[in-house]
A and B are shown apart, each in its own frame.
Chain A
Amino acid sequence: MRICRRNALTAQLLVVAALLTLGGCAERDSRRVINLWHQMRPEDRAVLAERIDVFERDHPGVSVRALYKETEELRSGLVSAVLADKGPEVIYGPSDVVGVYQAMGALADMSAWFTPVEEEAFDPRAVVRLPDRADPAREDLVFLGDRFGNHLALVYNRRLIPRPPATTAELVEMAKANTVDEDGDGQSDRYGLVWNYTEPFFVIPFLTGYGAWIFEDEAAAHGEGRREPQPTLDTPEAIAAYRFVAALRNEHQVLPRSADYETATALFRAGKAAMIIDGDWSWQNYLTTPGLDAAVALLPTVSETGLPMAPMVAPKGYSLTSFATGEQADEAMELILFLTGAETQHAFLARQRILPSRLALRDDPLVKDDPVMALSAAQAERGRAMPTTVAMRAVWDAMRPPYQLMMAGQLDAAEASARMQHDALARIETITGRTTPDGSAFVVYALAASALAVLLAFLRRHFRVFWSDWRRNRLAYALVLPSMVLIFLTVLYPLAYNVVLSFSNMSLTNLRDWEIIGLHNYTSIATGGESQVFWQILVKTLFWTAINVFFHVTIGVLLAVTLNGPVAGKSLYRVMLIIPWAVPAYITALTWRGMFDEQFGAVNQMIRGLSWVNRFLPEMLQLEPINWLGQATPAFAACIIANVWLGFPFMMVIALGGLQGIPAELYEAARIDRASRWQQFRMITLPMLKPVLVPAVTLGAVWTFNNLNVVWLVSNGGEPADQTHILVSYVYKAVFNLYQYGYGAALSMVLFFMLLTFSLVFLGRTRATEAVN
């Protein structure tokens, strides 16, 4: 045999070197960079890019790097940035989150660059000041809006409704007249009214119309001696509003039984809903849909109260972050002033019909003479500004589940609002509270010290054994070492960080100055108020993991064995069958969500198509279209189905590879012994597949257990009403939404130990670390 050692090693070194050089590919630019993280909608990004080009032409030494970040990403990215002290200099987004950003210490005060004269040009609701973190008596200018909007209005189909309703009584009447069952199957084919009723944002106009608001007046709060206004989610006015909304669905039956944003849009665009409540970002889309004659109208006045339904309005705008210092801050500020300037706002108005925050531009012919813009301005004028307090997020999170339950007909208005108020208060307390160290902090330090001591003792004792083995088995260590180093380099620090964090009180208000508080996070997992939910979800997660892995493996092995025989077109089949793995899961998961839609979903359409089978089926097994995503159990089933679909190709490929390792002679021998095909499968195929399948199953179970994405996308973050969570998605939502990083770290440690125990038991049983032969 040829000597080949050198060749092979050089080849591998080259590969590693190639990977290392990838690092050098980042572009270098001599200009100073300003990073801007923004949340512009796709259509607006082109205008932004043009304006940035203009700015860069005027400032040759500056390069602006604009990056779109989705709401959640911007938030979590900013948290990481604060911790690493490295982040964007400017951020752009809606005003409702600036309270949170200020609390985490991500924002800088812009007032030094912004004169009162300049301020007069702006709509006062577009300029946000918040108390300084260090000195609450001082106010920081933290947000400068360039536009006004996000307000809802009524869009109606002119073919069905000639004149928009002026009052809610008219609205109900028109909606009733337009809810029709064309084919007489007992299900409406057209609805009077629709909106996205998974998000409480869309119910706000009803609340204001009935005289309710989500927070008490600032004056009232100060009168009672409170610094922050309290939520007011269960007032009689709010309950009346919810009663009206629930009656639309249950009593008048003018709404579809379930609707998220995409369904609502699709219904209206197809002419299957006469009216829709939707925001200013969507109107242009409806007005230009071919075959649809849509118009926008002001939201009606509530007949009982005589008050107009008022949407929430929020400015969007720019904030300077604390990462910008010195000269860079000056340049960043110049950019902000340029992008909120009259010229830029005019460009957005002319190109994208965006309501400017500069008052002078409101008199522009583009606003005055355009009916939709004029209406938009009028509706925004009626709107109430979205609060910027930290508590806003807690209120949305508290409103969502009871509201969804109410819209599913499972909770009445009074109960729903009581639950909202209760949850909101609890959440606000969690966000703003801070746990102080207790006696167990000492225990933690003691534990850490003893762990270190044990480790050192262990190393000392085993070092000699290890050393002699090292000299004997040099090749083995050389082969393993590169992988081990790489794996542990990347994992060790995050892991250690997480362990430390799990004993700490890190949260929104002390991202940087957290301290070790002891075992509090762990004890509250075991015995705290949320602990019961935790154990329930744990059971569900185990169920989820077991079912998924079972089907992944069974289907995978079945297909692999089927493919491994003499079949014509084998390679074509093989390629088709890995498609679910090949197409990115974030779109197919959404497709599955669409397929489970009650109205248009392919699954229900198939059930309807098969309804002739019902004649032959007993009463119990009748096929009925199912409201998949609106009910807890079917929604969870939908997640499982989607995940089984996503996962079987992987196991199939593993099993296919494994089957190649089985010598054909074994089967020949078995045939000579007259073993049946089933016996061959049991006695030869399965045992020979085991070494390949065991790691795949172990890790498959771990990945499934930790699979956040599918549940998140298919059930839209745990809908309905947070009933479809598995542990990771629950932890993610419960913890990260409330910024409980210490608690979250402790929870993930608990998950980690559960998985570790499972793997050790499973691997021990299957003796996977030992060779079979």
Chain B
Amino acid sequence: MSEPKLLTAARHVVLLAFVAIALWPVLDVVSISLRPGDQLRTAEWRLIPRDWTLDSYRELFTSQPFLRWLGNSLLVAAGVTATGVALASIGGYAFSRFRFVGRQAMMLSILTTQMFPATMLLLPLYIMIAKLGLVNTFLGLGIFYVSTALPFCIWQMKGFYDTIPHSLEEAARIDGCTPWQSFRRVILPLAVPGLVITALFSFMTAWSEYIVAAQILQDRDLFTLPLGLKSFQSSMSTQWGLYAAASILVSVPVVVVFVLLSRYLVSGMTLGSVKE
């Protein structure tokens, strides 16, 4: 496929402009992480400050349990992602393909769970978790994250399955597949781009959440990264260097996950598969 040179150039212009906008504030974070003496703002902005230092990064790995927090976060996020993708891929499929009693009601009701401001639910949530004895466990946190991410993931997967023609399953069924098999063998592989988004979203939900984690995890050794990060912040004497350096490092795994996943973010389907 070829297109006019002008159009290609336009694509680059748009992309470059937005890359600049996307990176601009982040470069500021980089600059803060290199500054000595915890300065959030300076009168003289430079990407690499004149007296730059890597002390903040060094301190993160030497005198702060950064790696431990990273491990905790990866554990929670991986668990949440796996569970979220598994449950959303099947749940979304059922909503897309089956007409069963209570389908609409269920779809709407899972949406409504997103409509309460999370800060308002914190109190009862903590009471519940404390009564269940799940304070200071990743299980309590994981369950909450999965159930926060699921409504969107299910709807997203449902929308994705909707774009896949029904005729594929009919063909599979004629070939002797059970409904489950036609889902697993025919539809699921075509829905990979949707799964990628679901995975990314579940991962991000678990990776960056802070408010609920602060209620459930009350032991510094169990902290996830956002909690560790926030512990550098205190009123009027924040350790900005550590805070910025940790923020930069926290985003690295996200980028890695995205790069790994985005290989699958390519067209999985052509009309060819239903032509015959």
Contact = CB atoms under 8 A, between A and B. Distances in A.
Residue among A16, A19, A35, A576 with the highest chain B CB neighbour number at 10 A: A19
A599 B43 CA distance: 8
Contact of A483 (B91, B162, B254): B91
In the complex, the 9 A-B pairs of residues with the closest C-beta atoms, listed nearest first = A23-B139, A695-B155, A270-B43, A476-B98, A497-B124, A84-B130, A479-B94, A494-B124, A582-B254
Contacts of B45: 600, 602, 605
A14 to B, nearest CB: 9
Contacts of B233: 70
B46 to A, nearest CB: 12
B258 A577 contact: no
B212 to A, nearest CB: 10
A345 B178 CA distance: 74
A477 B178 CA distance: 16
B146 A19 contact: yes
20 contacts: A5-B181, A24-B137, A65-B219, A67-B218, A80-B122, A83-B127, A84-B130, A84-B131, A270-B42, A493-B124, A567-B15, A577-B19, A586-B210, A661-B163, A664-B270, A691-B162, A692-B194, A702-B115, A732-B119, A756-B112
Contacts of B37: 285, 288-289
Nearest to A747: B120
A25 B137 contact: yes
Contacts of B229: 584, 586-587
B182 to A, nearest CB: 9
Interface residues of B, number: 158
A584 B219 contact: no
A220 B267 CA distance: 79
Interface string A483-515: 110111111011101100100000000000000
A1 interface: yes
Contacts of A65: 218-220
A4 B144 CA distance: 31
A577 B110 contact: no
B14 to A, nearest CB: 5
Given A22-B79, A591-B28, A594-B40, A76 B122 contact: yes
B43 A494 contact: no
Interface stretch (A392-400, A523-531, A556-564): A556-564
Contact of A466 (B101, B123, B146): B101
Contacts of B48: none
Given A493-B128, A580-B22, A22 B138 contact: yes
B117 to A, nearest CB: 5
B120 A744 contact: yes
A261 B12 contact: no
B87 A559 contact: no
A491 B25 contact: no
Nearest to B176: A1
Given A661-B163, A661-B269, A773-B166, A760 B19 contact: no
B140 interface: yes
Given A68-B231, A493-B124, A559-B14, A483 B154 contact: yes
Contacts of B40: 262, 266, 590, 594
Residue among A26, A35, A43, A752 with the highest chain B CB neighbour number at 10 A: A26
Given A578-B254, A592-B25, 18 more contacts: A18-B79, A266-B41, A465-B101, A466-B102, A476-B94, A480-B91, A480-B95, A486-B143, A491-B121, A579-B255, A591-B28, A654-B156, A688-B163, A695-B152, A698-B155, A752-B115, A759-B111, A771-B162
B43 A692 contact: no
B113 A487 contact: yes
Residue among B38, B45, B94, B178 with the highest chain A CB neighbour number at 10 A: B94
B60 interface: no
A602 to B, nearest CB: 7
B210 to A, nearest CB: 7
A39 B236 CA distance: 12
A149 B234 CA distance: 17
Contact of A35 (B26, B162, B215, B218): B218
Contacts of A658: 159-160, 163, 193
Contacts of B226: 584, 586
A26 B141 CA distance: 12
